[in-house]
Amino acid sequence: MAETRRVMETIKQKHGKVVEVNVFPAMPASLAIRFGMDYMSKTDNPLIIYDEQPERGFTKAIVLGGENG
């Protein structure tokens, strides 16, 4: 997931560490797991991950990093 690291570093360089990154995953579960394994909560920006719910649309599923650790 070299691309994940590159994107996270670019976001941090352009916007600082305090900007939250909204993630709307459109990937297989195995890739989502790998994405989570590559996330470094102490150095990466906080992530807000959304899940699509039938009839409700996208809803906040989990927050990684930031005040939540």
pLDDT digits (tens, 9 = 90+) for 22-61: 999 888 989 888 888 888 888 899 999 999 989 999 999 9
Considering Cα of 62, then 48, then 44, then 69, what sign does the dihedral take? Answer: negative
CA distances (Å), 28 to each of 1, 23, 31, 34, 49, in order? 14, 14, 5, 10, 15
Q: How much is the pTM?
A: 0.77
Residues in the chain: 69
What does the domain layout of the chain look like in residue ranges?
A: 2-68
- Given this model, what pLDDT does residue 68 score? 56
